[in-house]
A and B are shown apart, each in its own frame.
Chain A
Amino acid sequence: MELLVASAIGILTAGGLYLVLRLRTFPVIMGISLLTYAVNVFLFASGRLTVGAPPVLRDSMESYADPLPQALVLTAIVISFGMTAVVVMIALGAYLGSDDDHVDDQPQDDTQAEGRS
């Protein structure tokens, strides 16, 4: 199982990094989503992998799962979900406003009068 989880994190991270390095907003946002999935699984595994063990301590308990990473990962999921929603909205606004979805700065003529307020 360690191999499975580790390679899943690795593949997600690699795919995410590749997509983040693209130049259009859509693949970059997809890449960020993959990266956040990878980090969520990574956080989950940071409390060691246990199968079928409850995350609650009782007197008669032989083995238990570390509950803290589960709480951490819940926070991380909520935050990354919200952030992704925000970036989708801003990117949509930028795309609809300028009809261009490049992430990088486009070369422009600096001497032109600027259009921003």
Chain B
Amino acid sequence: MTHWIVAPVILPALLAPFIVLAARYHIGIQRVFSVVGVLALIATAAGLAWQTSDGTVLLYQLGDWAAPFGIVLVGDRLSTMMVLLTAVLALFVLLYAIGSGWDDRGRHFHALFQFQLMGIMGAFLTGDLFNLFVFFEVLLIASYGLMIHAGGDARLRAGVQYVLFNLIGSTLFLFALGSIYAEAGTLNMADLANRVDLIGPDATVGIRVAAVLLLLVFAIKAALVPLHFWLPSSYAEAPAPVAALFAIMTKVGAYAIIRVYTMIFPPDVEVTAGLHDVWLLPAALVSLAIGMIGVLAAKKLDRLITFSVIGSMGMVMVSISLFTPASIAAALYYIVHSTLAGAALFLISDLVRTGRGNLHLTAQAPAAGAALTAALFFVGAIAMAGLPPLSGFIGKLLVLEAAYDSSAMAWIWVIVLGSSLISILGFARAGSILFWKAHGVTVDEDAPQLDRPSVMSYVAVGGLVALLAAHTVFAGVVHGYTTTMAAQLFAPEPYIETVVGTPGKLSTPKEGY
């Protein structure tokens, strides 16, 4: 049994207290340890992804207790890819936070950042529903701290809303877990998959309720309309690097839906028939439409980006709710794209704020460093709106292709294409007001000159944009990999067999015990 799989959880968990306790007053030391920690995370995550790329399922039994009694961490293609994506995103976000000085505007940024990473990594790797809840709480409580980093009244108010909404979500999660345990007597995902199969069609009331409650919880995390109300103000008010890191948090919800509803409640199980096509798909289409209309209606750049995040989550959920191997593969490709594009846009909005002082979409004097920022915004907007040549376009094509055989094909095509048009208009409007109209405004001589964003900020954003470009260039390779990933998800028997069948320390009783 290899111990590497627990490293993405343990490493930030050790690093964060160290940063709080030993390096509290030295921002330089904190930065070094944080960056080195994230680099080590990337190396570990890449190793894990390489190990699982041939289809092996990595299992780690904590304390050598066998599932379903012990806690297990499981790594398959999907979870290791998400872990790698998180680690890579974290590096660029961290570089930006350091380069722009955001990490020094409040206290304990790096410690909270590491705790946040620990929660996200754990949520991707755990093989147990209750531990999924615990890791959700770890990532949430770190995100509460990060969200109100650097303070300010507007941010605190948005923080209160964010925390309250997520507390209700957590309560709902516990209700769902309680009903699942009452019905099936286990919370281990692989064990649950076996037991849900055994529940007869006449006794499904409890497990149906539990399945729907669980879907609601994950939909809150994924900001699916009508459960998206927490997202716009909290992401817009959060410090930009934090909002960029939060781009992966909505994906945790999408990941959980994919994991739970391919393994425990697959679409062909009687228990949850109709859940995906009747309920999830319309909600996803509405989120897509509302998100992109919000892009057009936004009065401030940060709100615009939050709505584009809702829209892109809608696109991911449309693809997920079709629940065919092709559509899940398309969704996974789009998840990577949407994480990178959303994070890049949040960081770009901070570049604009640094050079301009605010984010209102009104014509103002040209911002400091406008040329480079405008170029980056152009690329980010093209990616997010899904225009060729960047990965958003390829992702959208894959979703459309996956929807081609669906009975709701007309609806999906119309809404996906229509919402793309609206989002292009929205981004074009924002970009031309921010960067082009600025040249028609006479410069107020008395206005204080704002500094250009630092070089390191541009390096961080440029890195994300370069990753987007690579995601486009190697689209064939990535999509091939997500296709094998989807194939693994739709044939979960090896996963279940590995988790349930691996013996632990009490599986063979000792003599005289």
Contacts and interface: CB of A to CB of B under 8 A. Distances in A.
Interface of A: 20, 25, 28-29, 32, 35-36, 39, 42-43, 45-48, 68-69, 72, 75-76, 79-80, 82-84, 86-87, 90-91, 93-94, 97-98, 103-105, 110-111, 113-117
Given A93-B156, A116-B152, A83 B237 contact: no
Contacts of A86: 141, 144, 163
A46 B182 contact: yes
A106 to B, nearest CB: 9
B130 A98 contact: no
A46 B137 contact: no
B153 A94 contact: yes
A69 B130 CA distance: 11
A83 B218 CA distance: 19
B178 A97 contact: no
B358 interface: yes
A39 B168 CA distance: 11
Contact of B160 (A20, A42, A82, A87): A87
Given A39-B174, A42-B178, A75-B134, A90 B144 contact: yes
Contacts of B152: 97, 115-117
Interface of B: 105, 130, 134, 137, 140-141, 144, 148, 150-157, 159-161, 163-164, 167-168, 170-171, 174-175, 177-179, 181-182, 233, 237, 299-300, 358, 360, 362
Contact of B148 (A83, A90, A111): A90
A113 B358 contact: yes
B186 to A, nearest CB: 9
B75 to A, nearest CB: 24
A25 B155 contact: no
A45 B237 CA distance: 40
Given A43-B174, A82-B141, A72 B160 contact: no
A104 B229 CA distance: 11
B163 A90 contact: yes
A113 B357 CA distance: 10
Contacts of B134: 75, 79
Contacts of A110: 299-300, 360
Contacts of A114: 154, 358, 360
* Consensus secondary structure, chain A interface: helix
A39 B178 contact: yes
Nearest to A20: B168
Contacts of A91: 160
A48 B183 CA distance: 10
A75 B170 CA distance: 13
Contacts of A104: 161
A109 to B, nearest CB: 11
Given A86-B141, A117-B105, A25 B163 contact: no
Contact of A116 (B153, B175, B177, B181): B153
Contacts of A87: 160, 163-164, 167
Contacts of B358: 113-114
A72 B168 contact: no
Contact of B153 (A43, A72, A98): A98
Contacts of A90: 144, 148, 156, 159-160, 163
Contact of B157 (A46, A83, A84, A94): A94
A115 B171 contact: no
Sort A-B residue pairs by CB-CB distance and give the 7 closest, nearest first: A94-B156, A46-B182, A46-B178, A98-B153, A97-B153, A116-B152, A39-B174
A31 to B, nearest CB: 9
A28 B178 contact: no
Question: Taking each of B140, B156, B157, which has the highest tally of chain A beta carbons within 10 Å of its own beta carbon?
Answer: B157
Contacts of B179: 46
A72 B130 CA distance: 8
Given A47-B181, A83-B141, A32 B156 contact: no
B178 A115 contact: no
Nearest to A29: B164
Contacts of B148: 90, 93
Given A42-B175, A43-B178, A76-B174, A94 B168 contact: no
19 contacts: A20-B164, A25-B164, A32-B167, A35-B168, A36-B171, A42-B175, A43-B177, A45-B178, A46-B181, A69-B178, A75-B134, A76-B174, A82-B141, A86-B141, A93-B151, A105-B161, A110-B360, A115-B152, A116-B154
Given A75-B134, A86-B163, 6 more contacts: A35-B171, A36-B171, A43-B174, A69-B181, A80-B167, A94-B153
Given A36-B171, A79-B137, A116-B154, A25 B181 contact: no
Contacts of A32: 164, 167-168, 171
A75 B144 CA distance: 19
A30 to B, nearest CB: 12
A65 to B, nearest CB: 14
B386 to A, nearest CB: 28
Contacts of B105: 117
A48 to B, nearest CB: 8
Nearest to B353: A117
A116 B158 CA distance: 12
Nearest to A76: B174
